[in-house]
Amino acid sequence: MSVFALISSILTITLRAGTSLIYATVGEIYTERSGILNLGLEGMMLMGAVTAFATAFYTGSLWLALLVAVIVGGLLAALHAFLCVTMRANQVVSGLSITLFGSGLASFLGQRLGPASNNYFLVGMVGPKFTPIPIPFLNSLPLIGAFFNQDILTYIVYLLMPLAWFYLYKTRAGLSLRAVGESPQTADAMGIDVVRTRYLYTILGGMLTGLGGAHLSLAYTPGWTENLTGGRGWIVIALVIFAMWNPGRAVLGAVLFGGINAVQFRLQAAGTAIPAAFLNMLPYLTTILVLVVMTWWEALSKRIGAPAALGKAYMREEK
């Protein structure tokens, strides 16, 4: 295999592996920009994945499956928003609870929603899936071709990224969103509805996360297994920091992690002397490294960082 072909194939896998991460990262960036920390991503992703796969398996409709994943993600996020915004509960506790709840429920559903012939297990079932749609001519270009040999959800990401960036930095709504996460008092005094904004973007974040989960079970894997996400929900939390809450940079992190995944798969397939367990560990090890480096860097530059009001409940008539 030529070097070009090797790089090209790694790049193709990288983008496929990164897609679910990008959906969830963009979603979480929007949520955190409104000042709400959502640690329930892992649970939402798993729920999105299992419900999407079950829907596709029984109805055969991939689009209906996506819709279900989006709704499920949105509902779990709405619960999180209710707890954190309306009840002003501790956001970390609420998020962790949702992850535990979502993981458990997804696992349960995976053992109950399957066909009777498979003991009602979804594991091992084959359903419809998103397949790569090569774009003629473009997909045969060297290297760049990897970008044009992807499934439709990855193509949508190409549109989503710049849109998400533009919306956040160039529109009135994006300005209001950023203000709510930085200084809810200011936003409130300027007539922006803090509660509505936080609900809206927490739910939007959950929807995108559900969609990310659906990509895993409908395109990347495809299929359902226990713990399908393999901690991707947690990696996304780190990717948000790596992206410095900028959706335009989310692609860097997703590609970095997708790339590590792709490379380690290649290495495992090629039969290297490095133990598989060690290679499997790489993405998580990188997460830790990224967090250390980013925190250190943030301390140096001081300005770039989390939305100032991240994780803090807001209440107007505080005396």
Partner 1 sequence: MNDQPKPILEMLGITKRFPGVLANDHVDLELYPGEVLALLGENGAGKSTLMNILVGLYRPDEGEIRMRGQRVEIHSPRDAAALGIGMVHQNFMLVKTMTVAENIILGLSDLPFVPDLREVSRRIRELSQRYRLQVDPDAYIWQLSVGEQQRVEILKLVYRGAEVLILDEPTAVLTPQEAQELQGVLRIMTAEGKSAIFITHKMEEVMTFSDWVRVLQQGRLTAVRKTGETSPQELARLMVGREVLFRLDRKDCVLGEKVLELHSVSALDDRGLPALREVAFDIHGGEILGIAGVAGNGQSQLAEVVTGLRRTAQGRILIRGKDLTHASPLELIRAGVSHIPADRIGMGAVGNMAVADNLAMKGYRGSPLSERGVLRPRNILEFAKRMIEAFRISTPTPNTRIKFLSGGNIQKAILAREIDACDGLMVAVYPARGLDVGATEAVRKMLLSQREQGLAVLLISEDLEELLTIADRITVLFAGQIMGIVPSAETTVEMLGLMMAGVPLADLPALGTHDPTPGSSPA
Give contact residues for partner 1 (rule: CB under 8 A): 170-173, 175-176, 178-179, 182-183, 185-192, 300, 302-303, 308, 316-317, 319
Share of the chain residues as helix, strand and coil, in percent rounded to the nearest 5: 75, 0, 25
Q: 40, 93, 50: which is closest to 205 by C-alpha?
A: 40
Which amino acid, 116? Answer: A
Shortest reach from residue 183's CB to partner 1, in Å: 5
What's the rounded Cα separation, in Å, for the pair 233 and 212?
10
Shortest reach from residue 161's CB to partner 1, in Å: 18
Specify the residue, 105 or 294, whose C-beta has the smaller distance to partner 1. 294
Specify the residue, 64 or 188, whose C-beta has the smaller distance to partner 1. 188
CB 36 within 8 A of CB 237: no
- H-run or E-run covering 80: helix 62-81
Crossing angle between the packed helical segments 41-59 and 3-33, to the nearest 10 degrees: 110
Specify the residue, 6 or 315, whose C-beta has the smaller distance to partner 1. 315
Shortest reach from residue 102's CB to partner 1, in Å: 32
Shortest reach from residue 127's CB to partner 1, in Å: 40
Specify the residue, 132 or 248, whose C-beta has the smaller distance to partner 1. 248
Paired tokens of 130: 């998103």
Shortest reach from residue 38's CB to partner 1, in Å: 21
Specify the residue, 120 or 169, whose C-beta has the smaller distance to partner 1. 169
Shortest reach from residue 248's CB to partner 1, in Å: 16
Residue 272 neighbours by CB distance under 10 Å: 13
What's the rounded Cα separation, in Å, for the pair 80 and 41?
11
Grouping H, G, I as helix, E, B as strand and the rest as coil, residue 60 is coil
Specify the residue, 183 or 225, whose C-beta has the smaller distance to partner 1. 183
